[in-house]
């Protein structure tokens, strides 16, 4: 017999002027116990639309960046499992049921990553440059920390609520570190690294990453994005060096 574990789920959604994506994506998500929107200062009606849908909204006040958004929202999280989800189209809502089913059926997993590069999965937002960079950075994580990831960076993942606290992800660093590193790479890379160091039970599922809603078709170098790709890369390299040698 397969034992299904009863778990409550929080869908944690960082938002900054994503009204078009919210309207297109959020109605496709399956029911969860809590949808928690953390808004970084939207001026396009995103907050008003979310409130009209009955979603909880937290206003980001601690500074810029997705990491700070999570930190500001975390005291409001109620679910046993947290799923970090992008409302801009990159996180496929059709994959969410499968993610939650795996977390409920396989209670031994501490974290489940929706990999853009496992088996048949791919990213429509990738360019040859970003695909190579993601591959190289993930391989570095595997080499330095003994992991076997195919995608160490992706936002779309589920984990037990206690995982970030146990791994020290919620601990504030110096203002300089948060400004130079934390604001650019969120906390998913740190989750991947520290979960590997701690020997946590992590599984990857393949998950197609659709194109960002409203973005231009990516070319050869960098896709249209709010991400500062080069700063993110440098911040990630610094993070890996600190986690490995300091």
Span 61-119, pLDDT tens digits = 999 999 999 999 999 999 999 999 999 999 999 999 999 999 998 888 999 999 999 99
Residue 224 has pLDDT above 70, yes or no: no
* pTM higher than the cut 0.85: yes
Q: What pLDDT, on a 0 to 100 scale, did the predictor assign at position 217?
A: 60
Q: What pLDDT, on a 0 to 100 scale, did the predictor assign at position 230?
A: 83
Instruction: Identify whether the C-beta of residue 47 lies closer than 8 Å to the C-beta of residue 57.
Output: yes
82 or 175: which leads in pLDDT: 82
User: Percent of the chain at pLDDT above 70?
Assistant: 93
Average pLDDT over residues 177-196: 93
- End-to-end Cα spacing for the chain: 46
pLDDT tens sequence across 112-124 = 999 999 999 999 9
With cut-offs at 50, 70 and 90, classify the pLDDT of residue 229. Answer: confident
Average pLDDT over residues 8-24: 97
List alpha helices for 14-95, DSSP H. Answer: 19-25, 46-52, 66-73
Return d(Cα 45, Cα 42) in angstroms, integer: 7
Work out whether strand 111-115 and strand 157-160 pair parallel, antiparallel, or are unpaired: antiparallel
Per DSSP, 123 falls in state B
Return d(Cα 7, Cα 9) in angstroms, integer: 6
Return d(Cα 187, Cα 172) in angstroms, integer: 12
Average pLDDT over residues 185-212: 96
Average pLDDT over residues 13-34: 97
Mean pLDDT of the chain: 92
Q: What pLDDT, on a 0 to 100 scale, did the predictor assign at position 216?
A: 67
Average pLDDT over residues 42-51: 98
The β-bridge partners of 157 are 84, 113
């Amino acid at each position: 017999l397969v034992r299904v574990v009863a778990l409550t789920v929080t869908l944690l959604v960082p938002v900054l002027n994503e009204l078009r994506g919210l309207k297109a994506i959020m109605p496709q998500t399956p029911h969860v116990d809590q949808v928690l929107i953390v808004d970084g200062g939207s001026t396009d009606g995103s907050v008003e639309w979310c409130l009209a849908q009955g979603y909880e909204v937290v206003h980001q006040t601690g500074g810029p960046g997705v990491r700070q958004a999570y930190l500001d929202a975390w005291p409001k999280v109620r679910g046993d499992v947290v799923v970090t989800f992008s409302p801009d189209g990159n996180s496929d809502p059709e994959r969410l049921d499968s993610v939650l089913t795996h977390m409920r059926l396989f209670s031994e997993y501490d974290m489940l990553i929706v990999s853009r590069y496992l088996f048949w999965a791919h990213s429509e937002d990738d360019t040859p440059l970003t695909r190579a960079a993601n591959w190289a950075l993930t391989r570095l994580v595997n080499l330095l920390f003994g992991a076997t990831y195919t995608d160490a960076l992706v936002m779309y993942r589920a984990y037990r609520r206690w995982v970030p606290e146990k791994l020290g992800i919620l601990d504030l660093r110096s203002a300089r570190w948060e400004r130079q590193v934390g604001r650019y790479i969120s906390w998913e890379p740190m989750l991947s690294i520290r979960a590997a160091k701690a020997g946590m039970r992590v599984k990857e599922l393949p998950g197609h990453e659709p194109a960002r809603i409203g973005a231009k078709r990516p070319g050869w170098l960098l896709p249209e994005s709010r991400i500062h790709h080069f700063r993110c890369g440098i911040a990630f390299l610094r993070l890996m060096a600190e986690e490995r040698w300091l």
